[in-house]
Structure 1
C-alpha cells in the first residue's frame, strides 16, 4: 500500500498510534462494509446513525443488514453465513453468550484495538477465546423492573422488593384499574419460547436462590425444590396478573403493552427506559420508575446478564476497514451517545461521568443487579448451550401454558442436559 493511497485520517491514525492494524485499505475508490445490527427498540436506528458518522469520517460506505428480532433466529442466520464463509456481512452484532459458539469464524481484533483496557475486564475476558479477542463489547444489558410510579402512589404502595409483594400489589391495582381499562394487567414480561424466556427463567432461579442450571463445576443443579417453586410461581401469574397472551410476548410486545398504559409492572432491558419516557410515542411518559427485579423469599435481587458485542468475520474482504468500524462504534463518544438512549456503556470510565449517569435512571439498578447477576449457563455448558437454552425455554413454556408441572419440567430439563453432554462437558469445548 502506497502512502499516497492512504486517507488523511489513516495517516493521522498511523502517526499517532503506530498501530499497523489501524491502516485502512485506503484505495481511492470507496469500499462498502456491511454490518448486521439488531432491530429491538432503537438498535437499528442508532446503528445506522453510528455507521453514517464513520462513513463521513472515512469516505467508505456502510450498509446495515436487517436481522430477525428473535436472537434465536438471528443466531441461526449468523451460523449459516459464517459456516459457509459468506462475505455478504463483514461485521456481526453478537450476543454476549455467543463467543464460544462463533469464535472460530471471527477475526482476532487485538492488532486493531489500542485501548481494550478501557472496557470492563470481565467483558473483554468474555470475548477472548483461546487468546484471541474475537469481539468488542458494545453495550451491556441486564433485566430490570419497570413500574407505574403514579399508580403505586395513587394506591399507596411502595416498590415491591419480593415476587410475593409484586403479585399482591399487581392483583390489587389490576382490580382497581379494570373498570376503566379492560386491557389492564399487573405484570408483562417475555413468555414466548425463545432466548428471552431463558433470561427470565435464570432470573427467577437466581432470585429464589435455586442455582443457575449448571454450576461452574459443570454439575447440573436445576432439579431442586427452590427451582420448582420459582417456575410454579411464574406459572401462577398467567391468567391472574399476567395476560395469557404473554406466552407469545417478546421484548417489544411487553413494551407496547406497558407504554399503552395496559400494565403496572414490566420486565425489560435498559433500552426501554428512554423509549417509555418519550411523550411522542408513549402514553405513560413521565409516569415510569425503574428498579432492580424482585427477589424470592430466600434469594436476592438479580438480573440476567445480557448485552451485545461486535465481531468481524474472517471471510471479510476488508478486515482493516471492518475492524475500524468496530473500533469506532465501540468508542467512548459513540457509547456516550447511545447511553443517552438507554444502551449502557461497556467502558468503565463512562460510569464515572455524572453528567451522563444523572440523566439515566437505569445506571443504579443495573449496578445493583450486577452484584448478583444471573448468568445463563453458556460458559459451563460449552457448545451445547443452545440446546440447554432450548430445553429451558421450551419446557418452561409448557409449564406456563399449564401443560406440564414445574416438578416434571425441572426433572426433564436436567435429564436432557446430562444426556446431551454424555456427562462430560469438557468434551464440548
Structure 2
C-alpha cells in the first residue's frame, strides 16, 4: 500500500508541474526555439527506459566502436513509463543539458514539441515513406517532424495454445468467447487465472481502458479531438473490465500489474490469456528455464465486445532535447538506430515491433516471428490515445476514472461522467 500511495503522490505532483508548464507554454510555442540548430559533435547522452534485452547497449557499442570522438552513453531511467516522463519533463523544465537523445513514448510528442523541449528534425533526411504511416504520425506535431519512429507497438492477445488445444477451443474473437474458453480450460486447470492486462494506475491503464472502449465501438475523443467518453459504447467497454474483476475472470492481484508483473505471471503459467505488447514473445519463449510456457503459447488479435477488438497504438520515438549538446551527432545516431540493420537486430533480439514496413513482409523474419502479419494489422488498425499538449493531465484523469471503476470506488456511469467533464476542461 505504501508503494501505491507514494506513486499517487508522485503522479499528483507531476500533474501540477505539467499544468504549470502547459499554462506557460503558450508564448513559448510561438517564440524562438532554444538551441534549435542541429550543430555540434562529440559525446551525447541517451535517456531511455530499462534495456531488458541488452540489445540497446549492443547497438550503442556498435556505434561507439566506429565513432571514437562521438561516443553515446545510455542513461537508464526507471521501468515505469510515468516515471520516465517525469524525469524528462523535470530535466527540460530546468533546461538541463544532461540528456541529449530522448526515448519518448509516442503520446508525448505533442507535449514535448509544443513546449519546445525537443527540436524539429529535417524531414528531407528521413525516408518516411518507408515507415508504417501510423508510426510516422506519432512523431509529428502540426505537420512538422519532432522525432524519429523507432519502435511501433500494437496490443496482442497471448494465449496458452496447449491448454486451448487440449480443451478443444479456438482462440477467442470476442470477450464472451474469451470467458467461455477460460471456463472450459479451468474445468481441467481450476487454479489457473483467466485473463490479465495492465491495470495498475499508470500509463498502461490508460492503454487498456482505451482498448476496452474502442473494442466496444466507442471513443475517448472523436476525430476532431473532442471528448466523447460518456457514451453507452464506452460504458460497455469499461463494464467488461469491471465485471471481469468482480466475477474473477481477471485475478484480483492483476490490479497491481504493469507490463512486467503480467509478463512474469504469464511466463510462470498463471494465466490462460494475457494482453501484452510484442516484446513478450522472445522472453516468454526462452528455453533457459525462465519461462514455463516456452513453446506452449501463441498470439491472436485482441477480442472485442461484438467482434474483433482494437489495439491502442504504442511505440517509442527518438527525439533530440532542445537543451542537449552535440545535436549533429545525436541526429546521426538516430539515423543509425532507425536504419534497417538496427531495426532487424532489435526485432531478432527483443521481438519489439519495427517501424520499417518492409520488415513485416520478410519471409525469414516471418518464419521466426509468425505473429508479424497479425502485429502489422494490429498497428495499421490501432487507435491513438488522445493527442493533447497537456497529455500528462489527460492520462492522469483517465487513470483515475478507470481505476475508481475497477476497484468499485465509483460506478462506471459516475466515473465516465466525471471523466467527460474533466477531459472537456483539459482538451481545447
Q: Do Structure 1 and Structure 2 share a fold, with TM-score over 0.5?
A: yes
**Alignment pair present for 1:287 and 2:296:** yes
Shift of 1:352: 2.6
**Alignment pair present for 1:384 and 2:396:** no
Aligned pair count? 386
Is the 1:208–1:227 Cα contact (8 Å) retained in structure 2?
Answer: yes
**Alignment pair present for 1:36 and 2:47:** yes
Matches within 5 A, 1:163-174: 163-174=175-186
Aligned to 1:8: none
Range with bigger deviation, 131-140 or 369-378: 369-378
Structure 2 portions without partners, runs of 5+: 1-36
RMSD: 2.0
Aligned to 2:262: 254
Write out per-residue CA displacement over residues 60-103 of structure 1, whole angstroms, 9 at most, x where no aligned residue.
33221121222112111111111222111111100111110001
Between the aligned partners of 1:197 and 1:216, the Cα distance in structure 2 is 22
Write out per-residue CA displacement over residues 122-152 of structure 1, whole angstroms, 9 at most, x where no aligned residue.
4333323345421101111011100000000
Shift of 1:39: 1.8
Question: Which of the numbers 408, 412, 416 marks the counterpart of 1:410?
Answer: 416
Aligned to 1:375: 384
Structure 1 portions without partners, runs of 5+: 1-20, 26-30
Aligned to 2:135: 123
**Alignment pair present for 1:78 and 2:88:** yes
Between the aligned partners of 2:384 and 2:132, the Cα distance in structure 1 is 16
Is the 2:301–2:308 Cα contact (8 Å) retained in structure 1?
Answer: no
Aligned to 1:227: 234
Matches within 5 A, 1:206-355: 206-210=214-218, 212-238=219-245, 240-280=248-288, 281-297=290-306, 299-340=307-348, 341-355=350-364
Q: 1:175 to 1:217 in 2, by over 3 A?
A: same
**Alignment pair present for 1:136 and 2:148:** yes
Is the 1:82–1:105 Cα contact (8 Å) retained in structure 2?
Answer: yes
Is the partner of 1:98 in helix, strand or coil? helix
Q: 1:409 to 1:309 in 2, by over 3 A?
A: same
Between the aligned partners of 1:224 and 1:334, the Cα distance in structure 2 is 44
Shift of 1:114: 4.7
Is the 2:123–2:145 Cα contact (8 Å) retained in structure 1?
Answer: no
Range with bigger deviation, 127-136 or 71-80: 127-136
Is the 1:206–1:300 Cα contact (8 Å) retained in structure 2?
Answer: no
Matches within 5 A, 1:19-34: 25=41, 31-34=42-45
Between the aligned partners of 2:123 and 2:417, the Cα distance in structure 1 is 47
Shift of 1:234: 0.7
Between the aligned partners of 2:123 and 2:157, the Cα distance in structure 1 is 40
Write out per-residue CA displacement over residues 338-373 of structure 1, whole angstroms, 9 at most, x where no aligned residue.
111211111122223211222112312223323532
Between the aligned partners of 1:390 and 1:93, the Cα distance in structure 2 is 21
Aligned to 1:10: none
Is the partner of 2:353 in helix, strand or coil? coil
Between the aligned partners of 2:152 and 2:368, the Cα distance in structure 1 is 17
TM-score (norm 2): 0.85
Question: Which of the numbers 47, 53, 58 marks the counterpart of 1:49?
Answer: 58
Is the 1:41–1:252 Cα contact (8 Å) retained in structure 2?
Answer: no
Between the aligned partners of 1:286 and 1:251, the Cα distance in structure 2 is 21
Aligned to 1:107: 119
Between the aligned partners of 2:392 and 2:117, the Cα distance in structure 1 is 17
Shift of 1:308: 0.3
Is the 1:273–1:362 Cα contact (8 Å) retained in structure 2?
Answer: no
Q: 1:264 to 1:410 in 2, by over 3 A?
A: same
Between the aligned partners of 1:286 and 1:170, the Cα distance in structure 2 is 20
Determine which structure has more spread, i.e. the larger CA radius of gyration.
1
Shift of 1:111: 7.3
Between the aligned partners of 1:155 and 1:110, the Cα distance in structure 2 is 55
